[in-house]
Structure 1
């Protein structure tokens, strides 16, 4: 027996709206912290980092529908592996450029 398609669509729409609201709030918090200057520099960096991590989790869960259930675990592993490759490429590039700069000066 199938569930009501309109109800499923409405629930999905509510999830997208909640995700949009959370994403806007998680973008506004670091922006406000920088604009007001209420926190020291280290506090602002931590605020931006924590808000960014929370926003990644919101996007994974509410927009990409990736959670820790068995059916979505493969998707999550693929995303994490891709992230590892990107981090290695960027880190390696920065390391090589840093060494090259040190040798030039």
Structure 2
């Protein structure tokens, strides 16, 4: 016999897998068949990448806005903030060095 919670969890994972697969294949299709170009393509891929991150956080890491998971979400957001500061700082420094050369 199957446990109802087990089948519910399996459906949850399969829905996440389907969404993740779709969000992966759509950008590849857009590029392969040249359905979009330039800035519109880059923005579309960026939006789909953010959606992919949200799908992974929700369906596979079980991060949501509930009280119990809020600390995990804060830790992830703090990590993203640190990575953004490092990346932007690196680009800023490299840009300054390029203008001084």
Residue 80 (structure 2) aligned to one of 70, 83, 95: 83
1: CA distance, partners of 2:51 / 2:85: 23
Q: Where do 4+ consecutive residues of structure 1 move more than 2 Å?
A: none
Listed one character per residue, the Cα deviations across residues 60-88 of structure 1 (whole Å, up to 9, x for unaligned) are 11001011111111110110011000000
| TM score, norm. by length of structure 1 | 0.88
1:56 aligns with 2:53: yes
2: CA distance, partners of 1:45 / 1:88: 22
Which residue of 2 is the match for residue 69 of structure 1?
66
Unaligned runs of 5+ in 1: none
Q: Which moved more, 1:24-33 or 1:11-20?
A: 11-20
2: CA distance, partners of 1:44 / 1:36: 12
Aligned length: 100
CA deviation after TM superposition for structure 1 residue 9, in Å: 2.1
Unaligned runs of 5+ in 2: none
Which residue of 2 is the match for residue 16 of structure 1?
13
Which residue of 2 is the match for residue 33 of structure 1?
30
Across the aligned residues of Structure 1 and Structure 2, the Cα RMSD in angstroms comes to 1.3
